[in-house]
A = this chain, B = another copy of it.
Amino acid sequence: MSEFDLIRRYFMQAAKGADSTRHPAGVELGIGDDCALLRVASGSELAVSTDMLVEGRHFPVGADPFKLGHKSLAVNLSDMAAMGAAPRWVTLALALPHVDEAWLERFSAGLFALASRFEVALVGGDTTRGPLTISVTIMGEVPAGLALYRAGAQPGDEIWVSGELGGAALGLAHEQGRVSLEGAAKQAMLRRLHEPEPRVALGERLRGLATSAIDVSDGFAGDLAHILERSAVGALVHYDRLPRPSAFVKLANARMEEECVLSGGDDYELVFTAPQASGSEIRALVDDLGIALTPVGYVQRGEAKLVLLDAKGASMRDRGGFDHFRPDPG
């Protein structure tokens, strides 16, 4: 039996161990055969998303494997949240340059800790020798017809943002030495960068309330632009209403703050639109879920363009998709 056969067996047992806390929902057959066999609840659609993370591109060489395990799953859970789907099952394809048991122990601990919190079962995968590459495919369920599309935003809808924007980008700027954070602010921003909290519960509660939704992976302006394009509408957003960490106040760097808040990726907050009449129902979710939800502007008729207003209500220059700010999201 090869080293990589042993790794497969390791993940198989770790998966069964993680699942043993409860019988994983809908798993007829888990890891270890030619395929996994799953039962999708009748009346539900299957939601599927896949991501690939490459060392040196999506995370630095030598990144903490526990946090890497967390983030590899978190980015996929965030796609479920943006669709209003309940995450159920994941497969993991993993290329490793060599067999490092300590690394595998920490990586799987980070992945299974998050999987267990969201009752997601690892049902299959592949492990091979190669440059460190992680590909997770996530599957979930959403009642037929209730998924949150990017298309669907209507003129007059309010635009909402969960949590705060720009924190992960500020943490990255700190790691890159472009700013220097300290104490609690530093810890908080680095946590947002390396251990994002997917808004799964919020996504499920927004079914039937939101007219469109997306998660902030490439930056608020760029991701909102996807909603505008798909919905064939414009948007008017008040820059100063965009929720952001208080760390920016101390930073006192307007240019960097604007870059992080408008174009910083990796926050994995939800941006969604909803009729103004739903405002009170959405505000009620703040207490239920303990997540800040902030109205930041309105959907407008017309071309798929984002108009940003400054504190004085004057139009800031057109930001379009912010490609001049955005890093290659690949």
Contacts and interface: CB of A to CB of B under 8 A. Distances in A.
A323 to B, nearest CB: 6
Contact of A95 (B49, B52, B323): B52
Contacts of A296: none
B329 A34 contact: no
Given A48-B124, A135-B93, A330 B35 contact: no
A45 B37 contact: yes
A139 B57 contact: no
B95 A54 contact: yes
Contacts of A93: 50-52, 93, 135, 137
A321 interface: yes
Contacts of A128: 52, 54, 57-58, 330
Contacts of A105: none
A116 interface: no
Given A46-B37, A83-B34, A54 B91 contact: no
Nearest to A43: B42
A193 interface: no
A215 interface: yes
Contacts of A323: 1-2
A162 B130 CA distance: 32
Contacts of A95: 52, 54, 133
Contacts of A42: 42
Nearest to A145: B28
Given A4-B329, A329-B4, A150 B48 contact: no
Interface in A55-109: 56-58, 79-80, 82-83, 85, 89, 91-95
A282 interface: no
Given A29-B149, A133-B131, A126 B38 contact: no
Given A1-B321, A58-B128, A135-B52, A36 B40 contact: no
A124 B52 CA distance: 12
A4 B34 contact: no
A299 interface: no
Contacts of A125: 50
Contacts of A139: 46, 48, 139
Interface in A1-49: 1-5, 7, 28-29, 32-40, 42, 45-49
A237 interface: no
CB-CB nearest 3 A-B residue pairs: A4-B330, A54-B130, A52-B93
Interface of A: 1-5, 7, 28-29, 32-40, 42, 45-52, 54, 56-58, 79-80, 82-83, 85, 89, 91-95, 123-131, 133, 135, 137, 139-140, 142, 144, 147, 149-151, 213-215, 230, 321, 323, 326, 328-330
Given A3-B330, A33-B150, A34-B49, 10 more contacts: A29-B149, A33-B230, A37-B46, A37-B83, A38-B47, A48-B123, A50-B126, A91-B137, A93-B93, A137-B137
